[in-house]
Structure 1
């Protein structure tokens, strides 16, 4: 482990936030706006909004191989490049994803761990899909006996969903569905003509499901968002948006924290241990390795927020050992590191669509359609015999962008005319399914294989199980059924390999619960036995639901940070 001398910073902060991604940015904003002097630690490099987005305005011809990556260039990102046929590590975005050789991990079973080590974290690269959880989700564990009961219900989180949506800007359509609660939404983006056709056909042929535009964290309305403007429909979001059209920590929450004058942001700071004081019976600070100087530092604070991402935060807690907590900080229950979840996808259907040859669309909409969950909604009609919980779909329709012009048969006098015509319409949808919280899906630390900083590497031991496998068959079959009912041709279903981590929605490993004997955190995201430590990234999740989880992370973080600030001020005044 770390045996070098530690330099103690003389200043004591009111709060320390570990991580600057979706959760860390919100923790920083809320703590700073409540007047707390806050140190924000980021293990990676500094990224300033606009000025540090190197490819934001580049066109395909500005890259040596257009937007293709030479295979030799992927050797250092052999894990990061496995998704979307290498689409995440193309020349325009590869700089946001880690070098797998410098940041290794171990696998008992196959796992894809996608990471971005820089200020803003994966808030720069996320898909922006933003959906609320409902009581169907918060009550699921209690009703079907998997995992432990959530210590909160929708009414506890609803006002924080409101706060987050209004601040970040979420566009979409309210539907009045109890299992997908309505929100404070900006005007929805438009479906194109084929998506609208599918929406109508689904309504005509099914009485248990509907199609809507995705709810996405993109500004579309006229409400003022300081320092940001509307989405420009460039669909270059993952490069970093110079307009601030979508939510990221860099464009939104960190600038808000900075404006208070209460934030000190420190990049290149690898947090690895939260120090617990046996006499005071609380955490007193965070040990950090400076990634540039290799110094070992200690920063003191009254409150600590773990927002480093699910795996990283839990790793820090597991490394934070003491006489009181020999198995990791707050790990009285033995659940720390267990109950690792992700959504499962790579399953659905696609089709070709005749007609609409005179129709097109304007811009590059950075969003698709959404079909909310319609299985196991708590009534006999939607109850399934083969599996528990449910899934939703995301998808889109488009012209096939001149691919027909590539054929050698196109060469000749008609090539110029032919290449200017859009190709035929295609449509597809992919399912996102819930994964149950299995105790034996877990991470552990390997001290025999340390990283370059001498810290233990993570070992993943997780897989999808029978419930998810059966769900996937239904996900494929129902996608086929909807496309066939719409009258589309050459409908083809698919079931790909479900690799945990591939959805990049990893969660669990430090779950919330009522009972300290079976959970790590209480209803306010505090460690049961160390209440001045809050954990508000995906690790707190008690079940996964099937909705994209980032909005939920933000809402819980805002709630926890305000609870922490209120408690801090109360203790200071007493």
Structure 2
């Protein structure tokens, strides 16, 4: 590629945020270079395991010892990687990092990033969330409120296709939804029980998920969800939203996108004279060649921690501690969500009931604590929600039974007892001493400094975790479920795969990195729109919010560009 060509815009990363930045900028007419550190993944063509069956794998889906060695961090999540999707998770030996304190960094380095493996859960923030830092005097106040973002939530939901149910809750705003997926009989039982047994506002609904359910809708070649639940292999139908099936093809159709995989962006180039960024420095992952690309506008969407790492490496005489880092906030306030704790139970009855298909979604129990005086908790602030599901067991339950012959054959042909489980997702507060820095000694195979994580749960998080376990157990007990087992797996931050923060949004450069439009305060032609800009974490899945802010920021950038503000 000709490094002398100056693009209108450069987008770093092709995941949830990068795909949206590419689409919006290209559709606004900007000639846009999109850089991805991993290899190419083309929709459908490169989903090599999309139709495989369990018996197609020698180890029935489990990783080999060698793969477990290569993906020892990725495997901490438990449910992935497996044989059928391991190629969508990084090789940890090739992409190391330093853990001053344990941090479970789950990554996907390829075109599309984690948009190919995300859980698709899509929830809006409310003013309760945007105002929380100011109210609690923690971190920095968000310079935006719900009304600023609501139109962009609308735009994103309609475009990607989010199915769900409107509830009329102040703390979980309604959206522009496709028809909701259906709860099964046990989930409806729990829903009814919660309405009868609790007066604190707790309720159950189907998850709001980025899957097309309207068979009549036109989604530019994407088809409705087929209920295969093979999402993390890549969906050939495009039933769930990914960059590969949706936003990147939209950007490509404009003729304005140039996509370059295998390109590690490690620095934004700053011009002391113009006080603007002029481009980025890149290492080619295959040749190790060092390259520079020029543009008038830069969008950092490399994923939260990677974007923070790029900014930390972007040093100059003006910014000796990283681009835009006058506040020393860069790399601080790293957050995630609670995960890997909750409860499971057995459910009597309903043996004449079953369900059709493999629904790639579960139920959702929205936050019901610390919303008002009635639901206030004394020992911690903020809140949590639950994601879960009910299902019937299978033939494997018969292994431990004392049956054989005809009795065993009969048993294994019938589904087993109903079971139910729920996992808590709780808010993590933005502490300044939870931070990521550049290692002074450790480098990767391309000679770039590794990130060093010093992040931990603190008292508020530990007290919330206890309540998460207590409340879901009480909810199951009230429904009459049996053999309730509470669990709390040993984890570190990161395992919720919702890592965020490090380049927080705020009112000024003295306390934050980016402004209300996601621009770096002191370098206005650089936008940060992945999770790095988050100033607090809420307790809901954050991807919808990243997309809404990205679309909003790209619209702002296009207007500024056309007005000559970045020339």
Under a length normalisation based on structure 1, what TM-score does the superposition of the two structures give? Answer: 0.97
Q: Is the 8 A contact 1:8 1:297 kept in 2?
A: no
Report deviation, 1:505.
0.1
User: 1:68 is matched with which residue?
Assistant: 62
The correspondence for 1:170, drawn from 159, 162, 167, is: 162
Aligned to 1:543: 536
Separation in 2 of the partners of 1:459 and 1:70? 29
Equivalence for 1:95: 87
User: Post-superposition shift, 1:8?
Assistant: 7.1
Is it true that 1:200 corresponds to 2:206 in the alignment?
A: no
1:243 matched to which residue of 2?
Answer: 237
Matched residue of 1:40: which SS?
strand
After TM superposition, give the deviation of residue 61 of structure 1 in Å: 0.8
- Does the aligned pair in 2 maintain the 1:283–1:530 contact within 8 Å? yes
Matching residue of 1:287: 281
Partner of 1:525: 518
Q: Please tell me whether the aligned partners of residues 464 and 498 of structure 1 are also in contact (alpha carbons under 8 angstroms).
A: no
1:568 corresponds to: 561
User: Cα distance 1:567–1:470, how it changes in 2: closer, same or farther (>3 A)?
Assistant: same
Q: Deviations over 1:448-482 (max 9, x none)?
A: 11101000001100001100111111111110111
What are the within-5 Å matches in structure 2 for residues 372-451 of structure 1? 372-377=366-371, 379-407=372-400, 409-451=402-444
User: What is the rounded CA distance, in whole Å, between the counterparts of 1:435 and 1:573 in structure 2?
Assistant: 37
Shift of 1:295: 1.1
- 1:495 Cα deviation (Å)? 2.3
Deviations 1:460-512 (A, max 9, x none): 00001100111111111110111010011111222222410000000000000
> C-alpha separation between the residues in 2 aligned to 1:335 and 1:357?
56
Q: Secondary structure at the match of 1:104?
A: coil
Contact 2:296 2:566 in 1 (8 A): no
Residue 15 in structure 1 maps to residue 9 in structure 2: yes
Instruction: Map residues 500-515 of structure 1 onto 2, 5 A cutoff.
Output: 500-515=493-508
Report the alpha carbon displacement of residue 409 of structure 1 after superposing the two structures with TM: 2.2
Report if the CA contact (8 A) 1:344-1:499 is conserved.
no
Asked whether the equivalents of residues 105 and 495 of structure 2 are also in contact (C-alpha less than 8 Å), the reply is yes
SS of the residue corresponding to residue 5 of structure 2 reads strand
Identify the residue that residue 489 of structure 1 maps to in structure 2. Answer: 482
Distance 1:572 1:443, change over 3 A: closer
> Aligned match of 2:227 in 230, 233, 240?
233
CA 1:134–1:320 in structure 2 vs 1: closer, same or farther (change >3 Å)?
same
- What count of residue pairs does the alignment treat as equivalent? 565
| 1:452 and 2:445 aligned | yes
1:327 matched residue in structure 2: 321
> Residue 152 of structure 1 aligns with which residue?
144
Whole-angstrom CA distance in 1 between matches of 2:324 and 2:133: 23
Cα distance, 1:223 vs. partner? 1.6
Q: 1:366 aligns with which of 339, 347, 360?
A: 360
Q: Quick one: structure 1 residues 573 and 133, their matched pair in 2 at CA, closer, same or farther if it must change by over 3 Å?
A: closer
The DSSP-based 3-state class of the residue aligned with 1:409 is coil
Q: For 1:101 and 1:369, locate their aligned partners in 2 and report how far apart those are by CA, in whole Å.
A: 36
Structure 2: where are the runs of 5+ without partners? Answer: none
Q: Does 1:345 align with 2:339?
A: yes
- Partner Cα distance (2:490, 2:440) in 1: 31
The aligned residue for residue 161 of structure 1 is: 153
Q: How far 1:447 sits from its partner (Å)?
A: 3.5
In structure 1, C-alpha distance between the alignment counterparts of 2:401 and 2:202, rounded to whole Å: 43
Distance 2:322 2:94 in 1: 25
1:415 deviates by 1.8
- Taking the aligned partners of 1:114 and 1:491, their CA distance within structure 2 comes to 30
Q: Root-mean-square deviation (CA), in Å? A: 1.2
Q: Is the 8 A contact 1:67 1:92 kept in 2?
A: yes
Separation of aligned partners in 1, 2:337 and 2:566: 45
1:191 maps to 183
Q: CA deviation at 1:408?
A: 5.8
The structure 2 residue matched to 1:114, chosen from 92, 106, 116, is: 106
Distance 2:25 2:505 in 1: 21
- Are the equivalent residues in 2 in contact too, given 1:402–1:423 (CA < 8 A)? yes
Matched, 1:304 2:298: yes
Compute the displacement of 1:520 (Å). 0.3
Q: What is the distance in 2 between the residues matched to 1:494 and 1:572?
A: 54
Cα distance in 2 for partners of 1:522, 1:130 equals 24
**C-alpha distance in 2 between matches for 1:523 and 1:415:** 64
Bigger drift between 62-71 and 221-230 goes to 62-71
User: Structure 1: which 4+ aligned runs deviate by more than 3 Å?
Assistant: none
Structure 1: state its 5+ residue gaps: 1-6
Distance in 1 between the 2:112 and 2:478 partners? Answer: 43
Please tell me whether the aligned partners of residues 525 and 566 of structure 2 are also in contact (alpha carbons under 8 angstroms).
Answer: no
Cα drift, residue 572 of structure 1: 7.0
Match of 1:34 among 24, 28, 38: 28
Q: Tell me which residue corresponds to 1:81.
A: 75
Using the TM superposition, give the Cα deviation of residue 227 of structure 1 relative to its aligned residue in structure 2, in angstroms.
1.6
Shift of 1:348: 1.3
Q: CA deviation at 1:446?
A: 1.0
- Secondary structure class of the residue paired with 2:312: helix
TM-score, with structure 2 as normaliser: 0.98
Rounded to whole Å, the distance in 2 between the matches of 1:573 and 1:356 is 64
1:27-68 per-residue CA deviation (whole Å, 9 max, x = no partner) reads: 000000000000000000000000000100000111112212
Counterpart of 2:207 in structure 1 is 214
Q: Among residues 262, 269, 293, which one is paired with 2:263 in the alignment?
A: 269
C-alpha displacement of 1:416: 1.5
